[in-house]
Amino acid sequence: MASSPLRLNNKAERLAQLTSARQRRFMLSRLMAGRAWNWWWLLSLPMLGFLTLPLVALLLRVPLERLWANLHLPMVYQAIGLSLRSSAMATGITILCGTPLAYLMARQQFPLKRAIDTLIDLPTVLPPAVAGVALLMTFGRRGLVGGFLEDWGIQIAFTQAAVVMAQIFVAAPLYLKSAIIGFAEVDRELEQAAGLDGANEWQVFRRLTVPLSRRALLTGVVMTWARALGEFGATIIFAGNFPGRTQTMPLAIYLGFELDLNVALTLSLILMGFSFLTLILIKNFFQQA
């Protein structure tokens, strides 16, 4: 039976009222969201300004011509060269020696695993000065291991080797934790299928596990390098602050405040640039992955 015209009109009116109510609610929600957005911006300004203004002040304090002139100072280019070499070595050693440990932590269950995991995390929360003292008590001339090395004519403390070791101790946990997460997220069934197809354990790791976890591994590598580049506390205690020998960029900044403020400002700006580029690379990599 067909609906009467009166009933159709009533339905049309109710539908119009419902649509109008929905539109009003939508417009009201948009209006409230806009007001809330403005309030959140207003409340965010103090922290945003606190984080931004010091960086802007550093940029304004070092003109481009002065920056270029300071780069030719021996103290500056020696510190830059040592920092780049030592951080690259620290990152490479961390990858070589840390990858097996990360894979073990991600794939095996064994006694004291939680204790080892805590030891891996400890350098990230340990004050760098404490790390430097611990390294000195271990590898110094009268240290736990350094005493034996001294008998063989090997000295580690206050050398460039000490710079690299301090950077590894402080920065390696960043790579280890990232690699552990990456290895743990790889589907074990894929690895088992590759094993059934005839691949040995090393082939599975190299051709399947590493490519599938490359996102986490590369993130850990970049963060480890950036942390090693900026290491200060453990280095100054374990390696000393000798220009041209153990003086990295952070140590040169520290000494620059006593001798030449322009050197400290120049190196601070360079380190800030390195840090900014590191974060940009990581964020772009995550977006493209």
Q: Are 18 and 71 in a shared domain?
A: no
Q: Are 173 and 37 in a shared domain?
A: no
Per-residue pLDDT tens for 33-55?
555 567 777 888 899 999 899 88
Q: Are 260 and 234 in a shared domain?
A: yes
Q: pTM for the full model?
A: 0.81
DSSP 166-183: HHHHHHHHHHHHHHHHHH
**What token pair was written down for 71?**
């780069």
pLDDT of residue 288 exceeding 90, the answer is no
Contact predicate 132/234, CB 8 Å: yes
**What token pair was written down for 121?**
């995390």
Q: Are 69 and 56 in a shared domain?
A: no
Check which CATH number belongs to the domain holding 145 and give it.
1.10.3720.10
Mean pLDDT of the chain: 85
Per-residue pLDDT tens for 101-128?
999 999 988 899 999 999 999 999 999 9
Q: Are 185 and 228 in a shared domain?
A: yes
pLDDT for residue 8: 46
Closest by CA position to 79, among listed 275, 198, 235: 235
Contact predicate 168/93, CB 8 Å: yes
Contact predicate 219/233, CB 8 Å: no
Q: Are 130 and 45 in a shared domain?
A: no
Q: How far apart are CA 160 and CA 198, in angstroms?
A: 46
How big is the chain by its Cα radius of gyration, in Å? Answer: 29
Q: Are 18 and 119 in a shared domain?
A: no
Last residue of a domain, one of 28, 46, 61: 61
Q: Are 229 and 193 in a shared domain?
A: yes
Q: Are 1 and 111 in a shared domain?
A: no
Last residue of a domain, one of 18, 33, 61: 61
Closest by CA position to 265, among listed 9, 76, 3: 76
Per-residue pLDDT tens for 255-286?
887 777 888 888 888 888 888 888 887 777 66
Per-residue pLDDT tens for 143-175?
899 888 888 889 999 999 999 999 999 999 999
Last residue of a domain, one of 37, 61, 85: 61
Domain tally, the chain: 2
Q: Are 89 and 214 in a shared domain?
A: yes
Q: Are 112 and 40 in a shared domain?
A: no
Domain range for residue 93?
65-288
Q: Are 27 and 153 in a shared domain?
A: no
